[in-house]
Chains A and B, each alone.
Chain A
């Protein structure tokens, strides 16, 4: 399967714990995006990488959130000191260029108890 893969698919954690999600984009795609989606809503932009450079971060991305893309390949999204409001589906997408369709992974569903 050469699509975008995300790991884990599901994560249940207690409030205050740290969690880290991984995204492996399609190998030839230099653009990588993270989104957050809650029930009944469209995805909300979190951050964007072009190769290894993080070019944009949403105001939604508080200082508890950090994302990296070392070497311009896979990416990680870490949430520190999780809160119940962080419960959502976290989606990763990649694309080869501007104005190309985004290819989404199937997301990591986070539940904070």
Chain B
């Protein structure tokens, strides 16, 4: 069964600090991995999408890494801002089944002033 596990479940950080979120997956055969940001009460918004051949991708203060050998990804948030408070969801796609994405449960990040 294709699964995506995220850790930690939640974290609290002070404004201006950095943090790293983890994603482990068992989806096979792997096609791509995506990170989404979901504000409370709103739909997820795409941050990054990486294929097998990419091991890092940035979007502003967000940097995602991918190790397809160990089936792990991380999302690093640099110099956090209050607006970074949200749930961050890791999503993995399998070849031949690109419409049936596997979603993690998300990591809830709270940034405090």
The reply to whether the CB of B45 lies closer than 8 angstroms to some CB of chain A is yes
Q: Are B104 and A4 in contact (CB under 8 A)?
A: no
| Cβ-based interface call for B76 (8 A) | no
The CA-CA distance from A40 to B87 in the complex, in Å, is: 9
Interface core residue of A33, A98, A109 (most chain B CB under 10 Å): A98
| CB neighbours of B93 from chain A (8 A) | 99
Of A40, A98, A104, the residue contacting B45 (CB under 8 A) is A104
Proximity string of chain B (70-113) to chain A, C-beta cutoff 8 Å, 1 when within and 0 when not: 00000000000000000001010100001111011110000000
A56 touches B99 (CB 8 A): yes
A70-113 interface bits toward B, Cβ cutoff 8 Å, 1 = contact, 0 = none: 00000000000000000000010100001101111111010000
Task: Assess the B105–A101 pair: CB atoms within 8 A.
Answer: no
Q: Is the CB of B99 within 8 A of A31?
A: yes
Task: Determine the chain B residues whose CB is within 8 A of the CB of A56 once the complex forms.
Answer: 99-100
The residue that A33 contacts in the complex, of B32, B36, B99, with Cβ under 8 A, is: B99
Question: Which partner residue on chain A sits nearest B106 by CB separation?
Answer: A42
Task: Tell me the minimal C-beta distance from B48 to chain A in angstroms.
Answer: 9
Report chain B residues within 8 Å CB of A50. 99
Chain B residue with the shortest CB-CB distance to A95: B99
Q: Are A43 and B44 in contact (CB under 8 A)?
A: yes
Partner of A44, one of B36, B42, B103: B103
B99/A101 in contact, CB under 8 A:
no
Q: How far does the Cβ of B101 sit from chain A's closest Cβ, in whole Å?
A: 7
Q: Which 10 A-B pairs have the closest CB atoms?
A: A104-B43, A42-B103, A101-B46, A98-B98, A48-B99, A106-B42, A106-B43, A104-B44, A42-B105, A43-B103
Additional A-B contact list (18), CB under 8 Å, known A31-B99, A45-B100: A40-B105, A40-B106, A41-B106, A42-B105, A43-B103, A48-B99, A48-B100, A50-B99, A56-B99, A91-B43, A99-B31, A101-B34, A101-B46, A103-B46, A104-B44, A105-B43, A106-B41, A107-B43
